[in-house]
Amino acid sequence: MATFGNLTDRLAETFTRLRGKGRLSPADVDGTVREIRRALLEADVALDVVKDFTARVRERALGDEVNKALNPAQQVVQIVNDELVRILGGEQRRLEFAKKPPTVIMLAGLQGAGKTTLAGKLATWLRKDGHTPLLVASDLQRPNAVTQLQVVGEQAGVAVYAPEPGNGVGNPVKVAKDGVREAERRQHDVVIVDTAGRLGVDAELMKQAADIRRAVDPDEVLFVIDAMIGQDAVATAQAFQKGVDFTGVVLTKLDGDSKGGAALSVASITGRPIMFAGTGEGLDDFEPFHPDRMASRILDLGDILTLIEQAQANFDEAEAAKVAEKLATSTFTLEDFLEQMQQLKNMGSIKNMLGMLPGAKGMREQLDNFDEGEITRTEAIIRSMTPAERRMPKLLNGSRRLRIARGSGTTVTEVNALVNRFEQAAKMMKTVAKGGVPQVPGMGPVPGASYAGKGSRGSSSKKKGSRSGNPAKRAAENAALAAGVKPAGASAASGSGFGLGKQAGAGAAGGPSPEELASLQKFLGRG
């Protein structure tokens, strides 16, 4: 995710300057707060929010609030993290469902904010949670808005109520009211009303939105806003709050905003929580908004909890157990490999998932260059094989590989590369299934781990030790090396969440290195 990329970089530079300081003087704090203020203003955060944020950070950094487990640099990161969580809303706010169905959710916002697509994303998310949403096409102004909602509804697998053709024809207030009645009649438990937007805030827009609100009496009014409009988000949100009012905010196009000012301003200025975020173009690129997790992403501390939730939602435990059994008995085939790739795709963008790892800032360039289309090409190659060829890759002679290359629109070289990668992956997975730790090309050995076959070719008979001239230091470093731990004098990894480590919930690891990411791309793609 590109969101907050510039802000994350600026904050990283600011915190790096604090490392190595035993204590922070008032001048150090003032200099740090000044840099934070510049970083927030460059990210298009509203001036009032910036003033409040930096004042609180300065007050806490100069106060007696000292955590003995953290050094001064880590302490400042912790304070900034806490204040980010606060201005982002503090706690996650969930949808409030009506005691007597249907629950009515009204969407409001400017034209171009992505309301219609958001309606489909919200419906998809609700359907997966066991609800039966109905989409109501009350945007009768924008050309083809009704048709677009019908297409989105079909893609999401949900019903759409669209009695009017739109394009300026029909009464949007009547459609919204009738849509709620239709949901009651057809026993849908959620109604999502898509309303019209304009290119700018105007009296006509506000009156129509207010009339629809009075007609349907919604349980939730979600203000949909484009995260890329920067400080204009504040004025727009305040205008909608005054004219229509809303219960929550949804940020769209959050994946395309490298500044993030809207997210850091809207909740604080309006007092209304950010409830959801759109993170891509697909209907599944949608997630509940967690202020604490978003703060961790901004500070490059990762978002492991969201990553775990996505994995749990998309991976089949029974299927995973079956694959584990195949790995242990050496019967893992290209068919199984294809199924695993499809489950991985169901989790969404791999680039976004990797961006949730702690220390992702250090591999932003590699993430930007990561080609997710390689997975599609790999699928095409495997699907061009016969079932027998997928089960027994040894059958793939020259003529078969040529046929597969033509059928998948690739080259024989790419087919050969895939088969080689599969054989390497099968060996690694077999090692894991037996409780070992495989060595991945491009990644270093895991400290303290034993490797199958190591010692014959991959290990050195001569052990490396400390060369320190101090006997006590030499003994301590040799003991650390023997335990597989990096000696205390070694420098910390660059992607370790600014040294905050476990205190901020980032985990002990600092995230994959650029070399590891390159290795993953080579495994998934053509290398």
329, 422: one domain: yes
Q: Are residues 81 and 116 in the same domain?
A: no
Measured torsion, CA atoms of residues 262, 263, 265, 269, in degrees rounded to the nearest 10: 110
Tokens coding 65: 């609030």
The pLDDT of residue 166: 85
User: Would the CA dihedral through 192, 193, 198, 203 be positive or negative?
Assistant: negative
Can you tell me the distance from the alpha carbon of 276 to that of 118, in angstroms, rounded to the nearest whole number? 10
pLDDT in the model for residue 334: 82
End of a domain among 299, 323, 349? Answer: 299
Measured from the Cβ of residue 186, the count of other Cβ atoms closer than 10 Å reads 12
**Per-position b or e across 108-131, b if 16+ CB within 10 A of its CB:** bbbbebbbbbbbbbbbbbbeeeeb
**Same domain membership, residue 153 and residue 80:** no
User: Where is 193: in which H helix or E strand?
Assistant: strand 190-195
**180 and 44 co-located in one domain:** no
Residues 147 and 68 grouped into a single domain: no
**H/E run at residue 412:** helix 412-433
Nearest CA to 212 out of 175, 266, 257, 249 is that of 175
**Is there a single domain that holds both residue 271 and residue 201?**
yes
Distance from C-alpha of 516 to C-alpha of 85, rounded to nearest angstrom: 31
Choose the weakest-confidence range: 163-167, 311-315, 454-458: 454-458
Q: Which of 19-23, 78-82, 490-494, 517-521 has the lowest mean pLDDT?
A: 490-494
pTM reported for the whole predicted model: 0.60
Average pLDDT of every residue of the chain? 75
Q: Give the residue from 87, 117, 149 where a domain finishes.
A: 87
Q: Please write the tens of the pLDDT for every residue from 372-414.
A: 667 788 888 999 999 899 888 889 899 999 999 999 998 999 9
Q: Which residues pair with 220 in a beta bridge?
A: 105
Strand, coil or helix: 315: coil
- For residues 314 and 398, what is the distance between their CA atoms, to the nearest angstrom? 37
> Within a domain: residue 434?
yes
What one-character-per-residue DSSP string does 142-170 give?
STTHHHHHHHHHHHHT-EEE--S-BTTBS
Out of 32, 55, 87, pick the residue that ends a domain: 87
Q: Among residues 498, 496, 500, 523, which one has the least CA distance to residue 511?
A: 496
- Helix H or strand E segment including 307: helix 304-314
Q: What is the CATH number of the domain that holds 70?
A: 1.20.120.140
Classify residue 386: in a domain, yes or no: yes
Q: What residue ranges in 350-420 does DSSP mark as E strands? A: none
- DSSP class of residue 39 equals H
Q: What tokens does 338 get?
A: 């294809």
Same-domain check for residues 43 and 156: no
> Which pLDDT does position 41 carry in this prediction?
86
Rounded CA-CA distance 208/324 in Å is 57
- Do 30 and 126 sit in the same domain of this protein? no
Which CATH number belongs to the domain containing residue 338 in this structure?
Answer: 1.10.260.30
Range of the domain at 50: 5-87
Mean pLDDT, residues 323-347: 68
* Strand pairing report for 274-278 and 286-288: antiparallel
276 strand-pairing partners: 250, 288
Alpha-carbon dihedral 308, 88, 302, 56, rounded to 10 degrees: -140
Domain-embedded: residue 457: no
- Domain membership flag for residue 96: no
Most confident listed range (48-52, 66-70, 325-329, 423-427): 48-52
- Where would I find the H helices in 255-290? 261-270
pLDDT band (50, 70, 90) for residue 24: confident
Do 166 and 149 form a contact (C-beta atoms < 8 A)? Answer: no
456: in domain = no
The pLDDT of residue 462 is: 44
Q: What is the CATH number of the domain that holds 202?
A: 3.40.50.300
For the stretch 276-293, pLDDT in tens is 988 878 888 888 988 888
Q: What mean pLDDT is predicted for residues 125-152?
A: 93
On whether residue 461 sits in a domain, the answer given is no
Phi-psi region of 396 (alpha: psi -120 to 50; beta: other; left: phi over 0): beta
Instruction: Work out the pLDDT band at 301, boundaries 50, 70, 90.
Output: low
Residue 486 belongs to some domain of the structure: no
Residue 42: closest CA among 18, 1, 75, 13:
13
- d(CA 374, CA 352) in angstroms, rounded, equals 16
**For 193-220, what is each residue's pLDDT tens digit?**
999 887 677 788 888 889 999 999 999 9
> What is the number of domains present in the chain?
3
pLDDT digits (tens, 9 = 90+) for 460-485: 444 456 555 555 556 556 655 555 54
Residue 160 has pLDDT above 60, yes or no: yes
Question: Can you give the pLDDT at residue 237?
Answer: 86
Give whichever of 152-166, 290-304, 311-325, 341-355 has the largest mean pLDDT: 152-166
328, 275: one domain: no
Residue 232: C-alpha distances to residues 252, 261, 262 (Å): 15, 10, 8
If phi > 0 it is left, if psi is from -120 to 50 it is alpha, else beta; for residue 497 that is left
Whether 135 and 188 have beta carbons less than 8 Å apart is answered as: no
Does residue 13 sit in the same domain as residue 117?
no
Distance CA 435, CA 182 (A): 57
Contact 298, 356 (CB under 8 A): no
DSSP conformation class of 499:
G
Residue 491 lies in a domain: no
Residues 273 and 138 in one domain: yes
Task: Give the pLDDT mean for 24-43.
Answer: 85
* Distance separating alpha carbons of residues 436 and 430, to the nearest angstrom: 9
Examine the domain organization and report whether 143 and 264 are in the same domain.
yes
